[in-house]
Structure 1
Amino acid sequence: MAGISIEVLRSCVLTVVAATMLFSCGDERNAASGKEEEERAETIADLGALPQTVADPADNPSTPEKVALGRLLFFDPVLSGNKDVACATCHQPEFNYAEFLETSIGVNGVGRGQSRRFADPNDIPFAKRNSQSVLNTAFNGIKNNEAYDPASAPMFWDMRAKGLEQQALEPIKTLEEMRGNGFHENGILDEVVARLSRIPEYRRLFSVAFPKEQSPVSQLNLARAIAAYERTLVATNTRFDQYMRGDSNALSTGEKEGMNAFLVTGCAKCHSGPMFSDFKLHTLGVPDTENRKESDSGADKKYAFRTPTLRNLRFTGPYMHSGKFATLDQVLMLYEDIAGGKLLNPNVKEGQVDPLATHMDVNFKDISRIVEFLNTLNDDSFDKSIPESVPSGLPVMGR
């Protein structure tokens, strides 16, 4: 925090004063045991600028050769069971490496963006959840003043994987995302490795990227290459980052007021740190997507989902795990509803909702100011390049 300007520190003090006034009428709650976290007033010190460099796991240091290989694999549908969908099909550069759909259409899909649909005939369901952005996942799990371990970074809405290396292979094994009906979950990765081994250019690229290994084309190296590429997809120079690094003019007066509102209303209790996420599971009672018949009960069947990052939201809508909210205003109104005791998912009962959400103080008058601040977290300077072709000869980004 040494580089923060006097104006930023003054803003921090004003936030503390405003937050103290807000919570001063809640002395009884403050006295109750177990309420310390709910009642603590967040300040700008609970947020943070992203690092300007990326950390690699000890067993997968980045090299240009790994990144180049991973980039081709990311856009190549040869990784899917039917050879019709690539990682980039649902993580598109123009949409911040996410997708402008409520929940994704993976296997047996045709088209791009909002025009994507299932081919006919079809027996594949929609993907279970909204496609999260790959951008900045190199920083998943990062927190202020704590050592960062990229190998243990929480991934997915339910945090079922740790690290980008483990995350990279899960969509390939998932029926509706990339696997399809033609292969068993336990056999698809062997099939993919066999396919890659039969392509001379991939054999060469794996040998160059992993020169010390006798059998460089492997599941492990497939994951390592994709992860190495994904760690290059970062956007670390938002106006908020510039402000936190000492440029007091990077934010307007209205945006600073929005940041104060963001802190005072309690948003930063969960959306904290450089990634604006505590990387914890919370139950909010978000409505289910209508793309699936079954209700999504989340992690441990408690309707709990990981706090998403708030970075680059301009490019990653629709929002929440079910993709049910098209705008940021709708997301913020959800918290106003929760604090007012309104439940939007009939499968979630009142006692299940996280107290950090029920005790928030988001009012309609705050929403526009908070959205104005959230727009300072956008950085459009990330790599959006797409390979002209892939070694398999299949259509880049799938069908």
Structure 2
Amino acid sequence: MLRRAGLIMLLLGACAEAADDYEWPLGVGLPVPLVPDDNPMSTAKVELGRHLFYDTRLSGNHSQACASCHLQELAFTDGLAVSEGSTGQHTPRSSMSLANVAYATTLTWANPVLLDLEAQMLVPLFGAEPVELGLRGLEDELLARLREVPRYQELFAAAFPDDAEPISLHNLTRALACFERRLISGNSPHDRYLAGDTSAISESARRGAQLFNGEKLECFHCHAGFNFQDSVAYVGKPPRNGIYHNTGLYNLDGKGAYPPGNTGLHEFTGVPADMGRFRVPTLRNIAVTAPYMHDGSIATLDEVLDHYAAGGRTIAEGPHAGVGRDNPYKSSFIRGFELSPQERADVLAFLGSLTDEEFLTDPELADPW
């Protein structure tokens, strides 16, 4: 009790801390993330968000939490091709890593209008197509559940001290967003190498980095910069529109079609050229986030290299048969290449050097319950 009381007092002391005063756990070369003006970061909100993130009270049937599809040891993915919601329904896409989501200009694989975590949070909480956490119509019951927990009474009051009734859906989403923005990964061996520790990565990984950043493979065009992602925003760099790419993963009809119900940006725009275009994910911690692609249809990083080396995936038979290399909407950067066995090993070594073990095991990001 004394330890918990001490924690609450600490949070109360930090509750008014604004984003400008918040101490971000930034790694080498990581800029300060952008934060909405109406939801500044604070230690108290992050701690409340951590409790909510791991709490199964945030599903209609008490079976799942946000963390059920975002496991810390897997860089906050779930290791599945597509995620399963609290009622057994499956999402059409793979659970994205939340590592460094604070820098993302758009959220999810292909939705161009979800720009803030506070708004995106409503989809898994209350969405019905498909059901994820299954809370639609249970908003009052959810708040009643939280009000019954003494720890939440303290944590909400600490995080939102100016509110007469701090336990609200508005504050719940704000706290969850603050915790997710806190999921900063920036201490991989590659980061330490860039900081001057020449022993942090192997010679093979160094060669792999050169290949990755060279014109032969073209990887760096889409997986660019400190977050290995081509569309990011941070303090001092204004947000840019989301960037989406077709990588030649499918070509069902020989005219560029992707599987129905999973056509990427095209679902929102209806523009033919947007068929199969998806957001580029960060490559940080990529070695622990298998399976890969928006639908988890590629099992290993080795197979991912096969896909890009071929200039697009060929599926010989079945409902998804087609030659992705010939997809007319494919990105111009997906041209194919040849790798020697040593070069392949070098690229895989480089990708492995992006794993941040500290992030995957940080107790400050773990289940507080």
Question: TM (normalized to structure 2)?
Answer: 0.74
Indicate the residue corresponding to 2:276 in structure 1. Answer: 303
Task: Give secondary structure in 1 for the equivalent of 2:266.
Answer: coil
Q: CA deviation at 1:127?
A: 1.7
Q: 1:377 to 1:388 in 2, by over 3 A?
A: closer
Distance 1:370 1:177 in 2: 38
Indicate the residue corresponding to 1:355 in structure 2. Answer: 332
Q: CA deviation at 1:328?
A: 0.5
Report which structure shows greater RCO (CA 8 Å, sep ≥6): 1
Distance 1:192 1:346 in 2: 45
Indicate the residue corresponding to 1:111 in structure 2. Answer: none
- 2:163 is aligned, of 193, 197, 213, to 213
Distance 1:93 1:248 in 2: 28
Is 2:245–2:280's contact at 8 Å kept on the other side of the alignment? Answer: yes
Q: CA deviation at 1:371?
A: 0.9
Task: Give secondary structure in 2 for the equivalent of 1:381.
Answer: helix
Is 1:81–1:178's contact at 8 Å kept on the other side of the alignment? Answer: no
Tell me, yes or no, if structure 1 residue 91 matches structure 2 residue 54: no
Distance 2:159 2:352 in 1: 38
Q: What is the correspondence of 1:145-160 to structure 2 with a 5 Å cutoff?
A: 153-160=105-112
Tell me, yes or no, if structure 1 residue 237 matches structure 2 residue 201: no
Indicate the residue corresponding to 1:51 in structure 2. Answer: 30
Task: Give secondary structure in 2 for the equivalent of 1:247.
Answer: coil
Q: 1:74 to 1:327 in 2, by over 3 A?
A: same
Is 2:92–2:261's contact at 8 Å kept on the other side of the alignment? Answer: no
Instruction: For structure 1, list consecutive stretches of 5 or more residues without a partner in the other structure.
Output: 1-47, 109-123, 141-152, 390-399
Indicate the residue corresponding to 2:93 in structure 1. Answer: 129
Is 1:154–1:163's contact at 8 Å kept on the other side of the alignment? Answer: yes
Indicate the residue corresponding to 1:333 in structure 2. Answer: 306
- 2:354 is aligned, of 377, 392, 398, to 377
Q: Report Cα offsets for 1:36-86 as digits up to 9, x if no partner.
A: xxxxxxxxxxxx954175553332222221111111100111112222111
Instruction: For structure 2, list consecutive stretches of 5 or more residues without a partner in the other structure.
Output: 1-26, 232-242, 252-258, 268-274
Structure with greater helix percent: 1
Q: What is the correspondence of 1:32-43 to structure 2 with a 5 Å cutoff?
A: none
Q: Give the aligned residue type for 1:218.
A: S
Quick check: 157-166 or 222-231, which moved more? 157-166
- 2:127 is aligned, of 152, 164, 174, to 174
Tell me, yes or no, if structure 1 residue 275 matches structure 2 residue 227: yes
Indicate the residue corresponding to 2:345 in structure 1. Answer: 368
Q: Report Cα offsets for 1:302-351 as digits up to 9, x if no partner.
A: 12111111111122111111111121011111112226x84685477621
Q: 1:177 to 1:89 in 2, by over 3 A?
A: farther
Indicate the residue corresponding to 2:256 in structure 1. Answer: none
Is 2:67–2:76's contact at 8 Å kept on the other side of the alignment? Answer: yes
Distance 2:139 2:298 in 1: 34
Is 2:311–2:337's contact at 8 Å kept on the other side of the alignment? Answer: no
Q: Give the superposed CA RMSD.
A: 2.8
Distance 1:101 1:254 in 2: 30
Q: 1:49 to 1:332 in 2, by over 3 A?
A: farther
Tell me, yes or no, if structure 1 residue 317 matches structure 2 residue 280: no
Q: CA deviation at 1:218?
A: 2.3
Distance 1:90 1:233 in 2: 15
Distance 1:162 1:178 in 2: 20
Q: Report Cα offsets for 1:343-373 as digits up to 9, x if no partner.
A: 685477621211121x343535432221111
Is 1:179–1:188's contact at 8 Å kept on the other side of the alignment? Answer: no
Residue identity (%) = 34
Q: 1:179 to 1:376 in 2, by over 3 A?
A: closer
Aligned length: 305
Q: 1:299 to 1:194 in 2, by over 3 A?
A: farther
Task: Give secondary structure in 2 for the equivalent of 1:258.
Answer: helix
Is 1:50–1:275's contact at 8 Å kept on the other side of the alignment? Answer: no
